[in-house]
Amino acid sequence: MEMQLERKVVLVTGGSKGIGAAIVRAFCQEGACVANVNRPGPEGEALAAEAERAGQSYSFIQGDLTEWETSQRAVETVLDTWGRLDVLVNNAGVNDGVGLDQGPEAMWQSLQRNLVHYYALAHYGLAELKRQRGAIVNIGSKVAVTGQGGTSGYAAAKGGVNALTREWAVDLAAAGVRVNAVIPAETWTPLYDKWLQTMEDPAAARSEIEQLIPLGQRFTTAEEIANMVVFLASSRSAHTTGQIIYVDGGYTHLDRKCTVS
């Protein structure tokens, strides 16, 4: 299916690794002009080289999204480079393990890492997104509905992502701007692999998790998350807004009895 995204301008946060990099690649393959906002690092530069070899339009905007100036500069850079902004993908964040024992300052820092820049980018991009009747896709987490333990900051932030998705969908409907969220659960990324390698038996730990995923007893791939993001950003989902869509093989909501062998 043609996604009709050629020459559309897309701003992706945290697009250097894992799910974010898969999102960047998916939009580039659709012919979009893609800006990746991320901290400096070799992964972002490698994506630039990859895009150049493929003749794709990609820009790496380096900065720390916990600093609000980065969000404003990112939007301004996109407008200076391509003259428009059609799609905002809020993806950057980290499950930082800030729990009840760490105190209000740590909690606030976690919200800065995982939620506040979602608002900042939507704020600074608002006028242009309205002008283009564009789309916002927020990346959330199943932790917002299941809990996890020991990660109050991340859970609160991802709950906030779901709430802002619905709030912005209402707020921006009259302007023709669609807002949706994509929720991963157990998604295979290099970071997940790195965490599993800390286990005594990484292969057994992976297998144990996979058995809890109803559809196929396997991890979701980053590319499967990216494909849903691209669809929700495209005109193929022109009448879809305010939706919180779980791309998780049924992990979050289906009865665990279906995973018992």
The residues annotated with a catalytic role in the active site are: 154
Residue type, 73: R
Q: How far apart are CA 13 and CA 124, in angstroms?
A: 14
Asked if residues 151 and 158 have their Cβ atoms less than 8 Å apart, the reply is: no
Query: Which of the 8 DSSP states describes residue 63?
Result: -
- Cβ-Cβ contacts under 8 Å for 59 (sequence gap 6 or more): 33, 34, 35, 36, 48, 77, 78, 81
H/E/C letters for each residue in 196-261? Answer: HCCCCCHHHHHHHHHCCCCCCCCCEEHHHHHHHHHHHHCHHHCCCCCCEEEECCCCCCCCHHHHCC
